[in-house]
């Protein structure tokens, strides 16, 4: 039974979020909306598919312990992939309205979530890089993508800095967070210098837009607001 591998205290804390799926169960369906829910694959394995040229094409596997559906935190909207159970059973925590304070109560999960966001945003940049190679001059659309990517990486960088400074984590986890920041910075510096040169704390205009559009979960908005207030007070 997959629950036997999960500590009793964790089971008690996360029981309301827990879902157990059998093999070939559809956990997420491409195109559906579910109010920006975030998923943690606690045990088992899932397959990722995307609808391409009229067919569901296999993209990748995800093994426990790891997150999926995390990009809904950043941009919302319909799901962009289908997720299907690949193992005999899979235990999944479904955070319908992501409570990052609860998630970060397990520091390793916080590192996993930041890493997943970093990986996905890196994939977005690879698409942008390829577009640049195919076109000698950036179109207005690519200019927008560059600005949008700068905003996203500024948000990610700010959250990483604030977590490293304000959240109680172990020394090893603190090194993970700083290493992720360094990797992100080096990738941007080498591949997208125009983004790298403009990444900083998120601008007041972008911050106002995030709050107006209700893009961020309440806890993350409060966390960033508190950190910004502290910095301005210094």
Q: For the chain, first and last CA: distance in Å? A: 53
Question: Quick one: pLDDT at residue 138?
Answer: 46
The parts of the chain modelled with pLDDT lower than 50 are 1, 136, 138
Question: Quick one: pLDDT at residue 73?
Answer: 64
Alpha carbon of 193 to those of 4, 66, 181: distances in Å?
Answer: 48, 30, 16
CATH of domain 2-98: 2.60.120.10
Question: Quick one: pLDDT at residue 136?
Answer: 47
Question: Quick one: pLDDT at residue 181?
Answer: 77
**Nearest one of 188, 177, 179, 183 to 152, comparing CA atoms:** 188
């Amino acid at each position: 039974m997959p629950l036997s591998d999960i500590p009793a205290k964790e089971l008690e804390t996360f029981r309301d979020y827990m879902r157990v799926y059998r093999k070939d169960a559809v956990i997420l369906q491409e195109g559906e909306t579910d109010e920006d829910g975030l998923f943690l694959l606690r045990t088992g394995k899932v397959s990722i598919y995307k609808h391409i040229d009229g067919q569901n094409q296999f993209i990748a596997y995800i093994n426990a312990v790891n997150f999926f559906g995390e990009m809904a935190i950043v941009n919302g909207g319909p799901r962009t992939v289908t997720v299907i159970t690949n193992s005999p059973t899979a235990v999944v925590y479904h955070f319908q309205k992501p409570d990052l304070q609860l998630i970060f109560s397990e520091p390793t999960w916080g590192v996993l979530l930041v890493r997943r966001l970093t990986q996905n945003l890196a994939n977005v940049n690879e698409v942008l890089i390829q577009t640049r190679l195919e076109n000698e001059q950036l179109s207005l659309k690519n200019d927008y993508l560059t600005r949008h990517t700068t905003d996203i990486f500024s948000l990610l960088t700010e959250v990483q800095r604030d977590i490293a400074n304000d959240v109680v984590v172990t020394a090893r986890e603190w090194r993970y967070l700083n290493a992720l920041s360094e990797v992100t910075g080096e990738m941007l510096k080498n591949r997208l210098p125009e983004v790298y040169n403009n990444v900083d704390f998120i601008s007041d205009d972008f911050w106002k837009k995030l709050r107006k559009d209700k893009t961020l979960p309440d806890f993350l908005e409060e966390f960033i607001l508190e950190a910004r207030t502290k910095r301005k007070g210094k």
